[in-house]
């Protein structure tokens, strides 16, 4: 399971990445319980969320785009850096 020192932001980005992979393989809905298992939660605890879904629809695609743009805007390239 993820260590308690992992930031909330890191967990959100990890969740987003997992959903992006599922979306790229054609999934339109993913069970929250299954995502929690992938993150290391025990099956008994995760099973409480098996009826909850995340829709990987156009709103999800918009969220991915906005998040990636925001992350790109936060990157600072030191002056004098050559980008290939």
18 pLDDT above the threshold of 60: yes
pTM: 0.67
- The C-alpha atoms of residue 29 and residue 47 are separated, in whole angstroms, by 16
76 pLDDT above the threshold of 90: no
The most confident of 1-5, 8-12, 39-43, 66-70, by mean pLDDT: 39-43
Res. 46 pLDDT band, cuts 50 70 90: very high
DSSP 53: E
Res. 1 pLDDT band, cuts 50 70 90: low
Domain residue ranges in the chain: 8-74
- The C-alpha atoms of residue 29 and residue 54 are separated, in whole angstroms, by 6
| The two three-digit tokens of residue 38, written as one number | 């992938």
4 pLDDT above the threshold of 60: yes
* Of the candidate ranges 1-5, 46-50, 73-77, the one whose mean pLDDT is the lowest: 1-5
């Amino acid at each position: 399971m993820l260590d308690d020192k992992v930031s909330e932001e890191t967990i959100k980005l990890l969740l987003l990445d997992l959903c992006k992979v599922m979306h790229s393989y054609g999934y339109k809905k993913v069970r929250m319980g299954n995502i929690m298992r992938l993150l290391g939660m025990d099956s008994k605890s995760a099973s409480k969320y098996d009826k909850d879904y995340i829709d990987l629809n156009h709103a999800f695609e918009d969220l991915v785009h906005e998040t990636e743009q925001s992350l790109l805007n936060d990157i600072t390239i030191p002056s004098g850096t050559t980008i290939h």
